[in-house]
Structure 1
């Protein structure tokens, strides 16, 4: 029976391949292509290509070394290796192009586009459409002009599972080798693994396989978790071994997949241990965790050659935040404005800055304007600028407005719902015509920027009330996302650790006591991320030189008093609040006592209290 099944598998693959090619030909026909037409080999201009390369710089940084290795394996086979972005635009190519006619050599150079809409059925374009590895051989190409080629392509997915680009090997059909696709697949996996390692350098990485000799090879599974054990990403081998695709894996945790906690595995970093998967399969696992990256303040001057995605850094385990990041990443680089909603302090400007940092405009300025903080008499000149002598008290040389300052970069209009109606019409004109007329100026100034707006108000309600222009609303509301309040997020602990890493105490590694984390999880956080950041910064400042951990006594008193001031449904009576704080104090003492192995003196020193206080709390 096994032999029969093995014999049927190649035939099944042939059927699948035929279906893929047939569907690709059907799509090519819908694009209006004719099989006998000459291919369009026009390439992008140097400036357009430069912008695309900048947008895909992380992909290129990790793919180019792999492409060089792949080329060494297929050298002298009359083949070209190409790396494209998610649209089929060739970003880089290398290899032997002697199999191409002079007029065709441009076809596989950087700047050429190999989408199905441009070239019909071909490995790159069909891989993008199918999101799967594809070989297109000879006359399987839709355009007859491409029948002399054989192409093998694989999709390259980013750590969130989105299509990042395509790796392709193209050559003369007469020199086709069956092992080419295997080499391309291996190279694609290497690139994806490098992208995961780059994106989650602060995470807890589990490298695993049922056979120990496969750890450290392409066969190993790699799963990355945050410090609370929530899954951030997993490579293809990990998905195969776990039997769960990435979309559903994101709902899993370290405990549900491997039956272990983050703390236990962090303690075993650098070791190889035995773990059991959720399906009962035993595996060998190598645990990787860089405590210096996870808990120390990074240098603001040292920037790696290929910085990881700032948007991906916001994914610390909360499904809502991950969904927001995935949606935003799909419109970056496109002329689509973004509108961010959410409560005050929820991180709207933080998200806007991450979008800018991941955009093709990252080298340009990020200009933020809080429309609610500027007096109505000044907001017009602040936004649009003014010419020399435009009004009494104006600067002699005039002033450049915020909109012009954002040219080539990103304009972030925070609290746009507070913009006066008269100025809304002027902003609408700027967005429609892409020119700014400073006050008193004789001519307009052209501008080009990415627009991100934010508001803690419901702009739809303002439109209905007549306080916000409906036409402007539809201009700024291209993609709308709403940040969750901190109390609704499932990744509070990971957020705490990240904020401590960024805003730590004089570069020291700062930890946080379990009782404090438990208290944080019970708090309503009316000020959201802004409040949490301030609490951690103040608590860090309260640490003595020998302290490395934030404990209850380091927390600001006004923060603790908020529990007494909670709304009635949260604190029915003063006595209930007092009891809750008492419970927290007892829990803190119990947790510290357990940590110090029952040593009361060590516990008292750690908490900064007397031994009598420890005994009293334990009796209560």
Structure 2
């Protein structure tokens, strides 16, 4: 059990040849006691496919929450000759993703799903040593006990469940020649995301307090989260909460809501009601004041406030008007003057409420989910759930249980009382299946049966449950080509494409100026104390020249970044735009003609450094979050931070 917050730190790095950190030295000694020799071949005893599937089901919850985080991490380290590995608490590899060429190299030493990398099997290695030491561990090159593994550098971080028990390990492994000092920091942030997701899933029926001394850190990885019963009994707290409260998880178990925050459950509820949607100010046991949000999950019976209407409602977390509009878009909101979009919306309006399935196609980032949400909100089903499922983000081994649910005891590790699948969750409403082209073939058969017979059979159940859902699917793939290649069922395709509409990419739309103005208005609404935002003519000229490969996702990130950089007049000028965007437009300048807008070169690096510093500070030092907000790669941020004269970015965790 992990109860010592300091054990999350790793030992200082040292570049002296032959130097071994104490934990690595201890691991080498353990490897000797296991009877291993440095010259032996790696353990190639890999589980069969059936046994591995069982192990994955036993760690189903961990896999479900780790998968999207691993995908995000893969994007951040792509093309670096590396891979990402998820193991269970025993060191058994459950999943691995990464560069295809490096995955093949890793298979030669059994670094692949089904292999066990505990120290007793593979000697000193980051996965096994992190499990043995219960702390983040880097094992670099020759520090591996087995000579066969010394071409690797591995950064592993233990994953702990909300009760402090080891749940698994997240590992980033690469060629030892290309090791980057920031890899461990990325791995640690990824594990914190996974642990927070596990926390939220475990304590769904509780009172939760999210808090931090600085309000801008609420909603980020830096916020502390503590869970209590409705009568104030302590249940658990995440890593950040343990740090802020100054107690280990074991120490916190002796406390209550009253002893930690100085008020009872009833008083907290009264404060929430009186806050009118603003952050609460609470006092910790150490006397420090914090800003807090309070969430009632399946609220207790004592709460009768009309603002708490459904299980899972979050109270006292303010939402700007623009967020409300983004959460419930209507078709009218999407009409901004482009004739192609207007034609799509006109077609959609004719079939709403007529039980005709919709298939939305278009490039990534063109707004397919937003259109699906708007269709639902304008339909007779608007009061029922809108349930979105990204078929590409759920591991193949989990997507069946995610969609169809399962009965108690359907497989080892299944929840007591089973679980309701996404299809039944959408009963009466709309089921949105994004990236339908990535749905595994066996699941395509089951989905077709649901569409034809309107019933769902949960895993492990012999009963058929009637279900009433409207189906909207989306994909950026060419499903006809997939049918020709045999990777998508033709009968399912014709069942789904009652009406097929295609959203145009941003570069082909004629309403860019209107779209930009709309985004500016929404951004201004979220900043009521600042001047209204506008863009200079030079910036608009650049926008009209850009090819926008990321479409609305790229434009939205760019506008948020620029809005954070503007001066007091609120006008977005060229110096407020991210470095990568300017470089991309500059590279395309010859194709823009002789009258294209020139880009300033003298201040470009200075402007980029300021933008990056502001973004990193805003996200509490989270480089990955800053990179996403700026719409640039994390490598660009590292390069700019490391090249700055006063930079201390090299003081990484590894």
TM-score range (shorter-chain normalised) is: 0.3 to 0.5
TM-score by structure 1 length?
0.46
TM-score by structure 2 length?
0.44
- By relative contact order (CA 8 Å, sep 6+), the higher-ranking structure is 2
